[in-house]
Structure 1
Amino acid sequence: MEKKLKGKARGEELLYDFLAENMGLTKRQISRAKFCTDGICVNGRQARVTTMLKAGDSVEIKLEDAVTQSGHLVPYAGKPDILYEDEDLLVVNKPEGLVVHPSHGHYSDSLANMLVQYFLEKSEQVKIRCVGRLDRETSGIVLFAKNRAAAGRLARQREQGQLRKEYLALVHGVPDQSRGSINTGITKVPGSLMKMMASETGKHAVTHYTVQETFGGFSALQITLETGRTHQIRVHMASTGHPLLGDKIYGAECGGMERAALHAYKVKLMQPFSGEKICIKAEIPEDMKRKMNQSVAK
């Protein structure tokens, strides 16, 4: 999908400096645009970055061509649950059991394949760029950028803590503290293709939790992450003796759940170009809601 940014000079200034400082573009983005036809224009005419701007000059830079798309992905018929969409972002509520990207055994029936079909039906050419993914068993919010520049800005927001997801987890037992943090590294279990484990020598990982409600034998926790390691929440909670209900990899008992009881229910971010604050929520799925309601009824 084509993406252009426009701006207006307020005084004399080198075009390169205006693009970098006033429009917030990276050296790589500016360099890429230089070699595109009409990639960088001043008052409607292609210009060099060494051009000296005058007050009132109109500047336009092309960040992505109109013909970009995820040509390597096969369209898959399905109806994604779209929570939010604008020219740069797409936020989807992923059901449990659906993989985000093609993987072993799921080469053409992933959420990404489904979105290829979605954009084809809208006659839009969009390359799928996921900003943070979820495990197959985890339900909830998945964020996609519709152009390269938006993906880069959202990645920076995540690094700087401006883009934050909140999760709901149902765990065995009740943690000793009503709120706490788990700061333990995570690494692969030797000889396993997918299982991870907590290790002081593993990659840095930090998980924060708050107990929202306690039930008979389990608790509902609100969780946020400082890092995004594979299976981070599942590994960290299991390491404290409070594994997720239904987690067959890291838990001891299913607790009446058919999958790991984890849902990404809220995301807070800023629109990558306008700076508008956005908060999106995904309704708690029926299996987790049913588990909590059954325990309250008892």
Structure 2
Amino acid sequence: MTPSSTAMSADNRFRLSFTAEADGVGLRDFLAESGISRRTLTAVKYKGGEILVNGEEKTVRHDLRAGDVVTIIFPPEKPAEGLFPEEGELSVLYEDEALLILDKPAGQATIPSRDAPSGTLANHVAGKFRTEGTPATVHIVTRLDRETSGIVCIAKNRHIHHLMSEKMKEGGVHKRYEAIVRGSFSRQHVFIDEPIGRKEGSIIERMVRPDGQRALTEVRVLETAGTPGEEVSRLSVILHTGRTHQIRVHLAHIGHPLEGDTLYGGTTERIGRQALHCVGLTFNHPLTDAPIEVKSPVPDDMLAVAGFRR
């Protein structure tokens, strides 16, 4: 059910409003039909949220009448433990009350780790939220490896994160990448359908292995450059599953490692980082169902690998 309105409350808490279309529906069932998960409802009830019917607070046992306006005011969220808000530059591609979509540079981690507790995209987003008075933590919907550049989607509320995660499970979020790889292709359109699992003895590296999880990658060759035996190819890549390092593992498996990706057989002779960029993200908005399409141009360091044109 699409909310009839979205807004921030007077104290900046996120809120959604829905209009009941029939008499006699219990408020608990109505909220479930409206996409409010049980976990979210528990947080609303016990962590500082409110459930209003026509502006008056009600319990979930209340029965609705057609035309009643149900408003959910979500509780304020605190930044996750270990996520320190920091001031930092952010390249915003799209933003509304529910979502923040950014263009991440290569070399910046998406989230903090033990080795890199600060300077990450999430640290800078937390700083933005603090400055703007947004009472939310950082919910990463789509993340990228440190050396991969391009589009990252962030939800501003745990409920929005839940809705976007459900969309991803159902195949409703589409990401497109461009990659620069070693070698030329005999076919212009390739599907790589090979299971991926963790490499024995490594906590980071993945590999194609029979007992891994199914992984499907679609590849189209955009152009090839270079002298015979020294070619590099520019690819458009679509993920149909979301395994860790999927593009890197699959392309290395078929003999075309990413330029700059030393973990999976590439070299840094032409570029100092893995030549992978998320160029496109499309989905229907989790609240309005309106189509959203966000694009990010391929950065110059990737195009310069073989003099590719934008």
Matched, 1:261 2:275: yes
Secondary structure of 1:13's aligned partner? coil
Q: AA paired with 1:239?
A: H
Matched, 1:176 2:190: no
Q: Could you give the per-residue CA deviations for residues 45-67 of structure 1, whole angstroms, max 9, x where no partner exists?
A: 222223222222221122x2235
2:137 maps to: 127
Q: AA paired with 2:261?
A: D
Instruction: Report the alpha carbon displacement of residue 244 of structure 1 after superposing the two structures with TM.
Output: 0.7
1:227 maps to: 241
1:103 maps to: 113
2:31 maps to: 19
1:271 maps to: 285
Q: Is the 8 A contact 1:70 1:116 kept in 2?
A: no
Partners of 1:104 and 1:29 lie apart in 2 by 29
1:60 maps to: 71
Q: Is the 8 A contact 1:163 1:268 kept in 2?
A: yes
Identical columns (%): 37
Q: AA paired with 1:93?
A: D
Partners of 1:117 and 1:33 lie apart in 2 by 25
Secondary structure of 1:152's aligned partner? helix
2:147 maps to: 137
Secondary structure of 1:115's aligned partner? helix
2:90 maps to: 80
Q: AA paired with 2:14?
A: K
Q: CA RMSD in A?
A: 1.9
Instruction: Report the alpha carbon displacement of residue 131 of structure 1 after superposing the two structures with TM.
Output: 0.9
Partners of 2:232 and 2:270 lie apart in 1 by 11
User: TM-score, normalising length from structure 2?
Assistant: 0.88
In structure 2, the CA distance between the partners of 1:119 and 1:28, relative to structure 1 (3 Å rule), is: closer
Q: Is the 8 A contact 2:176 2:281 kept in 1?
A: yes
Q: AA paired with 2:62?
A: T
Q: Is the 8 A contact 2:15 2:72 kept in 1?
A: yes
Matched, 1:208 2:222: no
Partners of 1:193 and 1:54 lie apart in 2 by 55
In structure 2, the CA distance between the partners of 1:260 and 1:2, relative to structure 1 (3 Å rule), is: same
Q: Could you give the per-residue CA deviations for residues 21-53 of structure 1, whole angstroms, max 9, x where no partner exists?
A: 2x2323333344344666222122222223222
Q: How many residues get paired?
A: 293
User: TM-score, normalising length from structure 1?
Assistant: 0.92
1:247 maps to: 261
Q: Is the 8 A contact 2:141 2:154 kept in 1?
A: yes
Instruction: Report the alpha carbon displacement of residue 76 of structure 1 after superposing the two structures with TM.
Output: 2.7
Matched, 1:117 2:127: yes
In structure 2, the CA distance between the partners of 1:67 and 1:202, relative to structure 1 (3 Å rule), is: closer
2:198 maps to: 188
1:148 maps to: 158
In structure 2, the CA distance between the partners of 1:24 and 1:286, relative to structure 1 (3 Å rule), is: same
Partners of 1:38 and 1:251 lie apart in 2 by 51
Q: AA paired with 2:216?
A: V
